């Protein structure tokens, strides 16, 4: 690694490839000059190790972290700086993590192999956060990577995990070019290159992760690095509001999955509800407290309508996918904590899309997994079938590097919803004032004009550049 430079892009939905604890790489730049949208991490292994918490979104402990690398596209930056054409620069792609000593490393490696095997010049760097296991080594040429550790000590178990990872990636014709062991990811932690028993590799100390180039960028966007994976989980725990649990309660007829709610059956009612959602997101972005914003009954009802009504869900998910502001994510996270039942599980899934799109994959995919687990552990219902299908589609599309497939479906559905509301609104306004009746039956041309403004805002708020990039190839067109 001493002769390799690594880069990380500033924005974009990456791809996650671990079915349990995976997170996406930084992904594709959303717009502008791709070369200007990269962060140079340098050629030191210590710099790459220091970037791990920012890449994951939390500081890992006793983990095996696999970092996929690929040759950058020429429009991003030249991959070579030598006259002989040797590749010396790589872009970071998918990043996966698994617990040590649980057997999950091989599954993570298989997921990584599926995710990077078709990338140009793909290779993998493995960072092993060992805790107190010091004597970690690679298998020798005569060792069986699948054998049970002879000594049974912690170092032997960790070494067996590393052997399983390298052997699994070899089945995908993906090389592990370096393995680095570190007791923990903190400033001054000693790292060393893991070699076969008896050999000596490179070593050094980890720079301050908070001062790492990618860590500084992440902090500048308001997305903090959590202290642990457990903190990621705690941030999703339910917290009932003072006035009782917030559940999905449609106010007019229909079942929970298709009920009219407060949004009404026509475009005016739905657009009024979505307008409230946009206003709430804007207020939180400008500094309002998410909990205070959600205390308004009309905001809670509008958010519930937006995520629970099937005729609004694709557009809502795509809006969450396009909302790059951490404040918008905090509003969704607060909705997760404040709600219960099928509504909470739907919010978890929408939050998963938002976080996966903003390079917060660990929280995003764990939110999706949490939604599925709560359905499995609870009574379930018709709404939960939709939630589980959506959450699993997100996880599967990331795991297989097929983000474009689910984004494609969502984009087509969202366009249909937008165009349908636009045509309905125009038709209602064109045939007479009497047909402009809103959810409460008012005869109000101004309501139609206000709804048209909301429709324009919805169209503007979707990041069509990011959607188009994902639809063109699951994140493969940009730097990783």
pLDDT digit string (tens) for 414-458? 888 888 888 887 776 543 333 333 434 444 567 777 777 888 888
| % pLDDT > 90, the chain | 21
Residue 346 pLDDT level (bands cut at 50, 70, 90): very high
Q: Alpha-carbon distance 137 to 347, whole Å?
A: 44
What local confidence, expressed as pLDDT, does residue 9 receive? 42
The DSSP H or E segment spanning 32 is none
Q: Alpha-carbon distance 7 to 391, whole Å?
A: 30
371 pLDDT exceeds 60? yes
Cα angle for residues 28, 41, 188 (degrees, 5° grid): 135
378 pLDDT exceeds 90? no
Residue 353 neighbours by CB distance under 10 Å: 28
What local confidence, expressed as pLDDT, does residue 214 receive? 84
Do 12 and 356 touch, CB atoms closer than 8 A?
no
Start-end of H helices in 323-444: 326-338, 341-357, 361-377, 382-399, 403-430
Bridge-based pairing of strands 123-129 and 175-182 is parallel
63 pLDDT exceeds 70? yes
What local confidence, expressed as pLDDT, does residue 152 receive? 52
Cα angle for residues 8, 43, 115 (degrees, 5° grid): 45
* Coil, strand or helix at 68: strand
What residue has token string 């390298």?
A: 166
Instruction: Report the mean per-residue pLDDT for the chain.
Output: 74
Q: Alpha-carbon distance 378 to 366, whole Å?
A: 18
| Separation in Å, CA 363 to CA 226, 228, 358, 442, 479 | 10, 11, 11, 43, 22
98 pLDDT exceeds 50? yes
Q: Alpha-carbon distance 480 to 361, whole Å?
A: 14
| Separation in Å, CA 62 to CA 83, 105, 458 | 41, 12, 44
What local confidence, expressed as pLDDT, does residue 174 receive? 92
Do 16 and 192 touch, CB atoms closer than 8 A?
no
Question: Which pair of structure tokens corresponds to residue 106?
Answer: 């091989």
What local confidence, expressed as pLDDT, does residue 379 receive? 78
Q: Is 85 exposed, middle or buried (0-12, 13-18, 19+ CB in 10 A)?
A: exposed
Q: What is the mean pLDDT of residues 152-180?
A: 86
Q: Is 253 exposed, middle or buried (0-12, 13-18, 19+ CB in 10 A)?
A: exposed
Domain boundaries, given as residue ranges, for the chain: 5-226, 235-471
Q: Alpha-carbon distance 236 to 440, whole Å?
A: 36
5 pLDDT exceeds 80? no
Summarised one tens digit per residue, pLDDT across range 380-414 is 778 899 999 999 988 877 665 666 778 788 888 88
| β-sheet bridge partners, residue 208 | none
* pTM as predicted: 0.74
What local confidence, expressed as pLDDT, does residue 362 receive? 67
Q: Alpha-carbon distance 392 to 224, whole Å?
A: 26
| β-sheet bridge partners, residue 190 | 205
215 alpha carbon, distance to own chain's centre: 17
What residue has token string 């694709």?
A: 314
DSSP string, 121-154: T-EEEEEEE-TT-----BPPTT--TTSPPSS-SH
What local confidence, expressed as pLDDT, does residue 466 receive? 57
Summarised one tens digit per residue, pLDDT across range 229-287 is 888 888 888 875 545 567 766 555 433 333 333 445 577 788 888 889 989 988 988 88
The DSSP H or E segment spanning 305 is helix 297-308
């Amino acid at each position: 690694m001493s002769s390799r430079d690594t880069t990380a892009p500033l924005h974009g939905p990456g791809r996650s490839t671990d079915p349990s604890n995976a997170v996406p790489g930084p992904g594709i730049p959303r717009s502008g000059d791709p070369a200007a949208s990269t962060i140079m991490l340098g050629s030191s292994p210590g710099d790459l190790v220091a970037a791990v918490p920012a890449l994951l979104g939390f500081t890992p402990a006793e983990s095996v972290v696999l970092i996929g690398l690929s040759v950058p596209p020429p429009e991003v930056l030249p991959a070579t700086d030598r006259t002989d054409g040797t590749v010396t620069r790589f872009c970071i792609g998918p990043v996966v993590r698994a617990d040590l000593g649980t057997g999950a490393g091989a599954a993570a490696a298989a997921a990584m192999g599926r995710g990077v095997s078709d990338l140009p010049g793909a290779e993998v760097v493995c960072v092993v956060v060992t805790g107190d296991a010091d004597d970690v080594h690679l298998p020798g040429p005569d060792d069986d990577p699948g054998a049970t550790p002879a000594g049974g000590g912690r170092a032997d178990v960790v070494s067996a995990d590393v052997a399983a990872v390298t052997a699994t990636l070899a089945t995908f014709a993906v090389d592990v070019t370096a393995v680095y062991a570190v007791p923990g990811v903190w400033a001054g932690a000693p790292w060393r290159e893991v070699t076969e028993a008896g050999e000596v590799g490179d070593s050094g100390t980890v720079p301050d992760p908070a001062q790492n180039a990618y860590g500084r960028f992440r902090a500048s966007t308001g997305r903090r690095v959590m202290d642990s994976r457990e903190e990621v989980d705690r941030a999703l725990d339910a917290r009932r509001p003072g006035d009782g649990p917030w559940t999905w309660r449609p106010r007019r007829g229909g079942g929970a999955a298709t009920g009219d709610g407060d949004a009404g059956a026509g475009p005016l009612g739905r657009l009024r509800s979505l307008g409230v959602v946009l206003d709430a997101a804007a207020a939180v972005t400008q500094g309002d407290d998410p909990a205070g914003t959600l205390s308004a009954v009309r905001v809670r009802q509008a958010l519930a309508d937006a995520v629970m009504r099937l005729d609004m869900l694709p557009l809502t998910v795509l809006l969450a996918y396009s909302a790059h502001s951490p404040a918008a994510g905090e509003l969704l996270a607060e909705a997760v904590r404040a709600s219960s039942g099928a509504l909470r599980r739907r919010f978890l899934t929408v939050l998963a899309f938002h976080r996966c799109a903003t390079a917060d994959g660990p929280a995003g995919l764990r939110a999706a997994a949490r939604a599925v687990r709560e359905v499995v552990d609870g009574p379930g219902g018709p709404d939960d079938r939709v939630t589980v299908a959506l959450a699993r589609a997100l996880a599967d599309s990331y795991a297989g590097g097929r983000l474009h497939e689910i984004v494609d479906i969502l984009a087509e559905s969202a366009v249909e919803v937008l165009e349908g509301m636009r045509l309905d609104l125009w038709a209602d306004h064109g045939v007479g004032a009497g047909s402009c009746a809103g959810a409460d039956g008012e005869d109000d041309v101004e309501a139609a004009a206000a709804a048209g403004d909301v429709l324009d805002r919805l169209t503007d708020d979707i990041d069509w550049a990011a959607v188009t990039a994902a639809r063109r190839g699951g994140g493969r067109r940009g730097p990783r």
